[in-house]
Every structure is written in structure tokens, then in C-alpha cells.
Amino acid sequence: MAKRSSIERNLKRIKMAKRYENKRS
């Protein structure tokens, strides 16, 4: 379960990073 939660957290972080990059450019 811990592994799954960590993966979900990474996905959220990637989604936020992509959104941030789109806003920057």
C-alpha cells in the first residue's frame, strides 16, 4: 500500500510540474 501511495504522490507531483511549466511558457 505504501508503494501505491508513493506512486500516486509522484503522479500528482508530475502533473503539477507539467502545469507549472505550461504556465511558465
Would you list the domain boundaries of the chain? 1-25
| pLDDT tens digits along 1-25 | 678 899 999 999 999 999 999 888 7
Separation CA 6–CA 19 (nearest Å): 20
Strands (E), 1-25: none
pLDDT at site 14: 97
CA 4, CA 11: separation in Å to the nearest integer? 11
The model scores a pTM over 0.85:
no
